[in-house]
Chain A
């Protein structure tokens, strides 16, 4: 199967469980299992090529200019990891089906799991490091969803947040490291980078790149000092822990270190950083694990410890170390996944994971006992189980490793780590299963159904088979090791076997096991000692760090960004004025190229009115109703100004928008006091006045200068004028720009407009559903109400106007392409026509006559515009390419048909829908309980026989 399918299957498959949730829990799990199985089988079809030593590649150019290509590569290493991810994934899915309770949303869980799985497979199969980074971030995000799956648990949410913060920051560091690496190698393709070991290691930027990439790996693989997030991530459901912390997420960092091994390893820097971090993590993790009482916390710290072991082995930089690391990855994945699942079983059956409350489960849960026993003994390093083999190889490698000039440091610490590792493994068996049966378990424990114990039991099979007959795994381990080593080192000749003779590693192993048993014997005094010791608590430090950086950010941002709009406006205005003044003072200004026009009295009077209205606005703005009237004057004069400057399109738009705005404002003003209270000090208002004056004068100066001179560069309007008719088939340049040249912008704008309208609707709905509803319904008007609600004269007038308005709208729409008009203006005109009916006959009467809800109109508009754009794909043209032709249907004259007109229909519909939906939403708020809805068109109607529902005398008087 093509590599693309293997990567894409989980991603596309992730849609299914979410959609199928209502089909039942088994269906969800079944479809997830099938998808994973398909990817697994697809992977296996590539096995022959891998065994033959080939590298399977698949490539699609994505953004070649950036070096970002969708290139996938499958070699031994990638195959190994993909096998673990998909294989253990299958077992986890089967296990999760039984583990999750009825209250858990199954579809959601499996969707997250598949997303995560796809991202992991993507990481291990990526050939392009930029692509790898994308998948890397995807694992951080999807693991966040998985760890926080139990949203009701605060620990789950905190753990998820911590994991995301730590791994996400590591990921950011790694992006920088990878970019440096790509710059050094001259390519972002791994297959190229891996060939350039000497070039990369000789580069002065090698060290920064190494440190940044290792930051990514260490955070992901929970290496000291970033180990703390992993235990907190244990708040996740057990299947997640088992999957993330045995085979996948935390192994991603290990994988990357192995992948980069040929180019990055072998230098002293690599050796010191990686080996030290691994060694410290191994010992620290093992010691902490021994004293944890929560089963999953114990396993979490043991995972940290084992990851440290693998990291240390990769850090040594020898071929043998790499082979031991590969072997231990395999062994650890098997026994650790089995242990996690068993811990889940115990939690599931005994309702507690606290070791202090358990014990004596051996007879109660015999099957689980056997599984845990074998897996834990393997983890402790007991012969005839697979953990022993790789641990002995580790000790052997440690024996030959000299760190900081001391030949003793590494072997001693490795033995100490193994000792504690053996101790916690023995504790796991001894304190949970052995000992007397108790009678105070939270629930009576017994073995679960096969659905729960079969997946871990299957994982025990390789534990034993490899442990007894290591030669079975040898070809595979060597194949993977060869892929890790690349051309950097030769494959080691050592074989995997149980008996190496009386070598130092054997003695160290014996010391570890015997010491581990001894440690368990003195466990209680050791625990007291441990609990009395003062230790730094990672979570507290982490939260302190997060909070202090948040405080620092607030300190920097809040003075500038405190939520006061006038402050933003002031800062923006001052900055622009200063920048403009700087440009004016330092730049050269050409002589005026135009002469001033003379002003005639009519123009001056128009100008005077504009100024007077604006000034009036400044001084009277606290009277809200009066300021609406003044806004009306400003709008009117601006419209006339547009006409005078030969822009009838703008004038029409301005005028219609003005009408709609007044209506909208009046609807809102109904709920507001008529006067704006004075809220700011005199000083502040003086400051604001100063800023406003400076801004106004500056824009005046700019306009004055600009209008008298030719533009410095050639303006784009030349192009539009030249191509409007030739390319767009319309003589109205404004309209052709809107629907053709910048059609894509318009498409975006109508979508924004539609979203805004829907938002207003949603907010209204929320208000009307909440406690505010009662207050709104029982409002008393703040002033007496006069006249009748639906006056007959207005009804008659607006009914007569309606067809005329519609026809004008239609005309303006059609003439738009060549003469002033277009879909936007037509939409506003038609909306005003409908609003007139609302005002005349009321909300209820008009709503009852609506055939289509406004949401539908909005949606239809966006869809029509979108489909018009998509239509051009069918003729192999880019999105929204327009075309036009001339047709003649007798007896009409020749006329033009343009796809742009179809697009304009979309604009028209969304404008009508958006305007009407927002006005309607506002007016819904004004419904009151004491005035019943009237379904009659007018209050006084001679043809009506039932008594009129109008109060002729003014209310409240």
Chain B
């Protein structure tokens, strides 16, 4: 049991750091670009990483109430990506 807890803690620490690193790298990609498409994809990756962070945070603190937040990000996070992409492609996002 103690071993399992320890294992979980180590796994959580690694996950946290990996996600944070992912965020930072996405951010770098976002700044570098070079095209708007790259930037939109970088933002989308950041949304996914953020989703991961929320879930891991819930596990870390041992609470369930962050679940809805994760659900919302998972379900609706892609909408802004799609909207930005449509803007690049068509200018008008509702045709």
Which residues of A approach B to under 8 Å, CB–CB? 601-602, 605-606, 608-609, 612-613, 616, 625-626, 628-629, 632-633, 636-637, 639-640, 643-644, 648, 651-652, 655-656, 658-659, 662-663, 666-667, 669-670, 781-783, 785-787, 789-790, 794, 801, 804-805, 808, 812, 815, 819-821, 829, 832, 835-836, 838-839, 842-843, 919, 923, 926, 931
Contacts and interface: CB of A to CB of B under 8 A. Distances in A.
Contacts of A608: 24
A839 B85 CA distance: 11
Contacts of B95: 789-790, 842-843, 926, 931
B14 to A, nearest CB: 11
Contacts, number: 150
B16 to A, nearest CB: 5
Given A602-B16, A658-B80, A643 B43 contact: no
Nearest to B19: A602
Nearest to B56: A602
A605 B79 contact: no
A439 to B, nearest CB: 73
A666 B87 contact: yes
A733 B24 CA distance: 35
Contacts of A633: 27, 30, 43, 46
A625 B36 CA distance: 9
Contacts of A783: 91
B93 interface: yes
Interface in B46-95: 46-47, 50, 53-54, 57, 65-66, 68-69, 71-73, 75-76, 79-80, 82-84, 86-95
23 contacts: A602-B19, A602-B20, A606-B20, A606-B23, A609-B23, A625-B36, A626-B39, A629-B84, A633-B46, A648-B65, A652-B69, A655-B73, A656-B76, A659-B80, A666-B93, A782-B91, A786-B89, A787-B90, A815-B68, A832-B76, A839-B82, A839-B93, A923-B94
Given A625-B36, A626-B39, A821-B68, A670 B91 contact: yes
With most chain B CB atoms within 10 A of its CB, the pick from A781, A835, A839 is: A839
Contact of B72 (A605, A652, A785, A931): A652
B31 interface: yes
Contacts of A804: 75
B87 A669 contact: yes
A369 B50 CA distance: 93
B17 interface: yes
B66 A643 contact: yes
B72 A794 contact: no
Contacts of A843: 94-95
A595 B71 CA distance: 35
Q: For the complex, would chain B's binding face be called helix, strand, loop or mixed by DSSP majority?
A: helix
A839 B69 contact: no
B19 to A, nearest CB: 8
Contacts of B39: 626, 629
Contact of A643 (B57, B84, B88, B90): B57
Question: 5 tightest CB-CB pairs across the interface, nearest first?
Answer: A923-B94, A605-B20, A662-B80, A926-B92, A838-B94
Given A625-B36, A781-B91, A785-B89, 18 more contacts: A605-B20, A606-B23, A628-B84, A637-B50, A655-B76, A656-B72, A663-B79, A666-B93, A786-B90, A787-B89, A804-B75, A805-B76, A820-B68, A839-B86, A839-B93, A839-B94, A843-B94, A923-B94
Contacts of B71: 808
Contact of A636 (B50, B66, B72): B50
Contact of B91 (A612, A640, A785): A785
A760 B94 CA distance: 17
A728 B82 CA distance: 40
A801 B16 CA distance: 30
Contacts of A786: 89-90
A832 B36 contact: no
Contact of A663 (B16, B68, B83): B83
Contact of A835 (B19, B57, B79): B79
A613 B27 CA distance: 9
B72 A836 contact: no
Contacts of B65: 648, 819-820
A819 B66 CA distance: 10
Given A612-B27, A652-B68, A601 B20 contact: yes
B65 to A, nearest CB: 5
Nearest to B16: A602
A640 B53 contact: yes
B94 A605 contact: no
Contacts of A923: 92-94
Interface in B1-50: 16-17, 19-21, 23-24, 27, 30-31, 36, 39-40, 43, 46-47, 50
Nearest to B92: A926
